[in-house]
Structure 1
Amino acid sequence: MLKDFAFSFLIAALRGNSLIVASLAKVYAFGSVFWKTRAISDIDLLVVYEKGVDLRGIKRQLDAIDRVVPLDVTYMTTAEEKELDFLAEQRAVDIFEARPTIGYTRTPNFPLRVEFASCELP
């Protein structure tokens, strides 16, 4: 699957989803979607949520998106994420606030370099 199409579709689907946008959950992307290759097998997502959020509803919505764009979703409470420092370790990006530009690279033994632009949909 082409990365640009998949990532754009995912952002549009999430922004158009009132349950996810209005919830006490944040959605982050990480992993191979940020590597230089144009083709990906799935998009890795982390959903960080507060207790009391409609997690079943969010899972149903992401399952529907997964039928079009393959997703690998990990769910963590805010406390779990802080304990594991997952966002920093994986260099995860808030999918609603920033979008990586094309042309980033990953070199062995060097950190991932990503430049950000505003996340606007056509």
Structure 2
Amino acid sequence: MTNLLVNIDVDDLDRAIRFYTGAFDLRIGRRFGGAGVELLGANAAIFLLVKPADHLPFPGSTSPRSYARHWTPVHLDFVVDDLDAALARAEAAGALREGDVAENAWGRIVMLSDPFGHGLCLIQFSAEGYDAIADR
């Protein structure tokens, strides 16, 4: 079996804890001094890791880490039972909406960004979910 860990780089741990616990009903598991915290309550552990802005993220990188809004093909999707309630909670915690709620055969989705520039989505599946568009 493969275990999945989700690591989210942030430059302000207290702010990140407030956002992710407030927006998604996650709770603190372990703390790693000032270097990070484990969040529980999703089906994979989420680790907030303190990484300063303007430092190179990996050897050979030519672009320093930035917490301005950025695009990456890898992002978090939070599956929720009530998208409207989850959206209100996420926005109240500091998420920025990046478009209208979209209706699809498989369900509803809204795109957001967290206070650290990371993209994320809220998804409320229809009864069929992705099976509504799956080739059979």
TM-score after normalising by structure 1: 0.34
Q: Which has the higher contact order (CA 8 A, sep 6+)?
A: 1
Say which one has the larger Rg: 2
Greater share of strand residues, 1 or 2? 2
- TM-score, normalized by length of structure 2? 0.31
